[in-house]
Amino acid sequence: MSLPWFIISTLLLLLFISVIYQRSALKRVSYTRYFSAAAAYEGEQVEMVEEITNRKLLPLPWLRLESSIARGLEFGRQENLGVSSGEIYQNHISLFYLRSYRHIKRRHLVRCEKRGMFRLESVTMTTGDHFGLSRRTQTFPLQLKLLVYPGLVDIHELPLPVHSWLGELPVKRWIVEDPFLTAGTREYRPGDSLNAMNWKATAQTGRMQVHQKDHTADSRLIICLNVEISESMWRNVTDAARIELGIRYAATAADFAIGHGLETGLLCNGKLDGGGERDHVTSGPLWNLEEMLGLLARLQLDRTIPMSRLLELEAESYPEGNDYLIITCHRGKELQQAAEELELLGNGLAWLDIPGEEGESA
């Protein structure tokens, strides 16, 4: 074969390969990515798992996956994984070589550096032939979410006298019996009223039995988290680290209260990720700690209304018998007046000041 024909044949072969890869490179290629857990606490580690499959005879000599996710997740160093960070998002690039009918599973260790809702909605896949003559790019939709709860502190690390006040709430709940709730029967004890006698149970057991009254479950804790640094603050939070500490305080208080059987609600003048632009947070009462932590994880540091106004709206519903824990950086005049209105309605009240750089509230 003469040299010209060899060159022409080679070029035609390369062109044929290029056309094949351009048309079929990403056909029958599937990709999925998921976290080893749906939720984790701030500071914990999870795995991000990538699975990719080539279900055809045509091999893929190189394949690049590129995606973006909000900052706050730290990926460990690993071969074939590149991470570049911007101010808000970080880009991840994974490289693969896929032979015919090949399935690859790759695990990445991820440390949750900050709380939040982390979403990955799409990944861009790019591949081509051995010689770089053709390149095919396609975007695959994903529905990947990781909820990072705020970290908890020791209950005794909360500023005095708040942890003592919290400790009294479960005790207060069980002091008074509710005459309308019956939990069963028990043996008669000196001092029991004859009106409490359960004659049917007495006849069945041969011992004097009385109705066992249950205790009221109306007592509930409402955690009021203020994202204002000062009374004069407008919309943007100027000291995010301080409010993040307040969020951890709120998570710790909720963990203690729900763990001791108290219904717990949340009032916050921030907004939720995925919620309305100017919608504040009003939730509760909740029995499930994960629900409460999920709200705190999704909380964005963007003030919707003054905290004093939020407490006024709460007072307009005439609550009674609640216990309000106000977690705040300041105790402005209007905020104190709104809190006093709740107290005058017959509710308990405690303040938890978020310390500043010198350990004092604003």
Closest CA to 50 of 74, 25, 78: 78
Give alpha helix (H) positions in 267-306.
Answer: 289-298
pLDDT in tens, 45-102: 999 999 999 999 999 999 999 998 888 998 877 666 666 666 677 888 889 999 999 9
CB 293 within 8 A of CB 259: no
The sign one gets for the Cα dihedral 224, 274, 49, 73 is negative
Distance CA 219, CA 263 (A): 7
Distance CA 68, CA 359 (A): 38
pLDDT in tens, 297-342: 999 999 999 999 999 999 999 998 899 999 999 999 999 999 999 9
Distance CA 186, CA 198 (A): 9
- Give the pLDDT confidence score for residue 78 in this predicted structure: 62
- Give the pLDDT confidence score for residue 84 in this predicted structure: 66
Question: What fold characterizes domain 155-173+218-353?
Answer: Rossmann fold (3.40.50)
Distance CA 258, CA 247 (A): 16
pLDDT in tens, 272-298: 998 877 889 998 788 889 999 999 999
Is residue 221 predicted with pLDDT exceeding 90? yes
Is residue 213 predicted with pLDDT exceeding 60? no
Closest CA to 248 of 142, 354, 96: 354
What is the residue-averaged pLDDT of the chain? 85
CATH hierarchy code of domain 3-149: 2.60.40.290
Better-predicted residue by pLDDT, 33 or 171:
33
Mean of pLDDT values over 257-267: 91
Q: What are phi and psi of 98, to 5 degrees?
A: -115, 115
Closest CA to 348 of 223, 192, 181: 223
CB 210 within 8 A of CB 186: yes
Output DSSP code: residue 156.
G
Output DSSP code: residue 343.
H
CB 263 within 8 A of CB 323: no
CB 223 within 8 A of CB 322: no
Look at residue 79 and give its three-state secondary structure: coil
Most confident residue range from 45-54, 82-91, 155-164, 198-207: 45-54
Q: Let me know how many helices (H) and strands (E) the chain has, helices first.
A: 7, 19
CATH 3.40.50 region(s) of the chain? 155-173+218-353
Output DSSP code: residue 280.
-
Residues 6+ apart with CB under 8 A from 82: 92, 93, 94, 95
CATH 2.60.40.290 region(s) of the chain? 3-149
Q: Give Dmax over CA atoms of the chain in angstroms.
A: 118
